[in-house]
Amino acid sequence: MEAIPNGIVKTLCVPGVPMLALPCAERPRLFIPARKGLDRWRASSLYPASRTTARVYRLFLRLRATIWPGDTSILPVEASPLRTFVGDAVPGVETAAILVGTTGPGRKFTVALWDDARRLVGFLKYGETALARSRIRNEFRMLGEIPEGVGPRAIKFGPLGEGLALLATPIEGRHLPAGLPPSRLVLPFQESLQEHAPPVSVDRHPWIRALVERIDGEVAPPLKWAEALSRRTGTSSAGGTDHLEQWIGSTEPRMGFPTQISPTTSSVWEPSYTVGNRTER
C-alpha cells in the first residue's frame, strides 16, 4: 500500500480534528479521528477485514488505537473543504473516518460522517483520477435509477478539492456472506424488484455476454463457469434463470451481487459501495 498524499487526507477531514492512520502512516488503510477513545473505537470498526485472521488483527488495531494510539501516525488538520461541501446537505458533521481504496488508477476513498450526537449521517465517495471520477459518476446515475426505499439516496454530487465527490445517505443493515444458494434474507428483496425484462437463458444474460466481450469472444470459459453455477442453483443454460439471477443479478445490466441487506432495504449495485454502519471491501 503506497503512502497517501496529505492533500487528499486533508480534503476529506473535518477541520480541527487530527487524524490517526491505521495501521501506520506509511501504509494507511483507514484514517480515524484522534480525539476521544470512544470516537476512535467506533471509527476503527470500519477497518476492512473478512477472514478470521484479518478480523483478529483488526481487533488488535482497534484496541491499540483506543487505549494507546501514540502520536507517530497522527496528522493535524487545520483546514478542509469537506465541511463546506456537506454542510448544506448534512449539517452538524463533527467527525469523519476515511477508508482508503485499493491501490490503482481507479482508487476511491470512502468517508463515514458522524454528527455531534455520534449519529452516522452520511457516506461520501471521493476520487481524483479519471477512472475513479468515471466510476463515481456511474454510481451517481445508478443511485438515481434504483427504486426508492431500497438503497441509499444520493444527496449531493460535485467537485471537491482536486476530485469528484458523491454524498449519500446511510441505511441500516448488515453484510451477508456471498454463497450458494443465496441467503433466504435476500429473496424477499429480490422478489420485490420490478421486473424490467423477461428471463433469458444463461448464455444470453447481459452479464455473461459482457464477460465474453471482455475476453475477446472466447465463449467457452465463461459458459463453462456459468454452466457449473447453473447446476448449483438448479438452472441450465437452456432453461430459466430465476435462481441464477438471485446470484448474478437480473437481466438489467445495472444489477449486481447482493452485498448488504436489512429488513426493508438492501443494496445490489457496486459491490464495494459502503452503506449501513460498517464498511468492508
98 vs 145, which has greater pLDDT? 98
Size of the chain in residues: 281
Average pLDDT, the chain: 75
pLDDT at 226 over 80: no
Q: How far apart are the first and last CA of the chain?
A: 15
Q: What percent of the chain has pLDDT over 90?
A: 28
User: CA angle 261-263-267, nearest 5°?
Assistant: 25
Average pLDDT over residues 229-243: 51
pLDDT at 7 over 80: no
pLDDT at 61 over 90: yes
Cell of 270: 457496486
pLDDT at 190 over 60: yes
227 vs 258, which has greater pLDDT? 227
Per-residue pLDDT, 253: 35
Average pLDDT over residues 223-251: 53
* Non-local CB neighbours of 9 within 8 Å, separated by 6+ positions: 19, 31, 75, 77, 98
Sign of CA pseudo-dihedral 207, 135, 93, 24: positive
Per-residue pLDDT, 3: 57
Average pLDDT over residues 178-198: 72
41 vs 222, which has greater pLDDT? 41
Range name among 90-94, 101-105, 149-153, 199-203 with the lowest pLDDT average: 199-203
Average pLDDT over residues 29-49: 90
Q: What is the 3-state secondary structure (H, E, C) of the chain?
A: CCCCCHHHHHHHCCCCCCEEEECCCCCCCEEEECCCHHHHHHHHCCCCCCCHHHHHHHHHHHHHHHHCCCCCCEECCCCCCHHHHHHCCCCCEEEEEEEECCCCCCCCEEEEEEECCCCEEEEEEEECCHHHHHHHHHHHHHHHHCCCCCCCCEEEEEEECCEEEEEECCCCCEECCCCCCCCCCCHHHHHHCCCCCCCCCHHHCHHHHHHHHHCCCCCHHHHHHHHHHHHHHCCCCCCCCHHHHHHHCCCCCCCCCCCEECCCCEECCCCCCCCCCCCCC
Cell of 61: 488495531
Average pLDDT over residues 43-65: 91
Range name among 34-38, 93-97, 106-110, 144-148 with the lowest pLDDT average: 144-148
Average pLDDT over residues 44-72: 88
Backbone angles phi, psi at 91, to 5 degrees: -65, 155
pLDDT at 203 over 80: no
